[in-house]
Structure 1
């Protein structure tokens, strides 16, 4: 998954000339297009630098120290259409990146204060802040044009720092963030390194908590039961089956859930990957979204479920690997254990059942 990409010390780690040049290429393409560049774009821009040594952009990217970009754990070497995303530490290493980092930190600190001071709107479970409000918290020189605020949105939604949802207007001109209580952890961050230290410290704290007090319930211990490996909880399938029949027909959703479990229990690696990918592509309209990445980033998931669904969003790339990688001289290394944790899938399906119950 992408969420563990941050590492302490990445702001000051030593880089070769080629590594520094590659980071700069990614950042320059990011600024020029106001979106994260694809590997294809990065590769073409890197070739134009004509650096000595002959290493490809992919090879240099592979050797970059951890903590500078968001790595896809399911595919170490990105394919041409993969987006290449820098962490805030990576942005801090680039010429011209200082303003984006400062705007990011000011916005994070302001959001942390607003979460404490303000009350959620009626019917909402979190404090919401808009682009216009955040812009007022950022000095004028750091928001001189719309593109800077667009970049700020991409950076704020890249790292998980306690937001529980985000969304953009159809024309992309406006956006908002939903703030969870964990944003308070970041109220005093003054540098990219302090932000990452707070992020990593939070992750370490969560890991210790989960190891000491594992969550109860069938879904959390589903891989430990004897016999065939149960993957989709029958309790969750029952929740889908008994959900009110309204706007949505759940016939296919329930069938996909049951077939996924059957494929995993039978040990069918590629079928399992394919069915899970189909399930992820099937559910976005239920959450009012067009893509699963939007489901993961924009729906108001709880803190733990947000992490689980984020892992499923990353898995879609691995689903591409199972479905579209063509035969070659290299072996295909996918195994059943490469699937996301059962708890992540069951969290998503439980969320689907909850959506079905809403009027």
Structure 2
């Protein structure tokens, strides 16, 4: 995997093609807690996947898209949006897998943290490594996108048509882009309104609901970028984008992908979120935090089925017990005869 950290052009068509112009960060400031406070690993530590290897699926290129919440006073910021986007030529699909920002993973120090902290602690390289371990598939490239880039690029292509599922009102506390105010219904959103749409998380499902809106945003963005009237302007969009996004992709990589934009228009887009369960902080455990808890074996199973077969998991939000005891279908099938013989 190439990870040279060069600040190079990130062509808008490439971002649209894999769905990679991803949604944006959480409205609040990140929790300012030291890594050392995670001295107690939650129960999920007992079923961490033991196989550190990854399996490469052929005929595709995979990009990890990170939405950074970097603010002027922060040196790097957290990656509060993580999306694995695959341009799958074998199946003529664009596959988008969202990883909730609070997903609990083991860091190189052996302790458990939220995956969104990896960008601040170890840069995009560490974030890519943790995502690879989580889903069992290699990441070819990364792209880091911030507020201004999203706003500017959506405005540059004339806005987006999006269905807003509910009224959205919230004050983020930021000096810039500090207000979220959208009305329910189908609207043509400006860049700043699109940023509001993908940042909002104050509904019953929190970040899980937000990943669904982020995926809707990506589909709308792909459609807008690949419209016949927009395609001729993509070189201009790319020129504007190069200063705004951090990526390890070379200009040759981007030019190759941009040249294939008309082909990507025919690709089917599938999207989902990594299944798991909510973990609320236990006041009796020092340093315990809220997490999105995933079963590592399930994460790899779901990711492989999603990228290889386009199969979307039937349920994203699980009961914690279901997450802890998850088994692949073949293992569950093997248990049934034993269960029947025991009951008899």
- After TM superposition, the score normalised by the length of structure 1 is 0.23
Tell which structure's C-alpha radius of gyration is larger.
1
Greater helix share, 1 or 2? Answer: 1
Larger RCO: 1 or 2 (CA < 8 Å, sep 6+): 2
Which has a greater percent of strand? 2
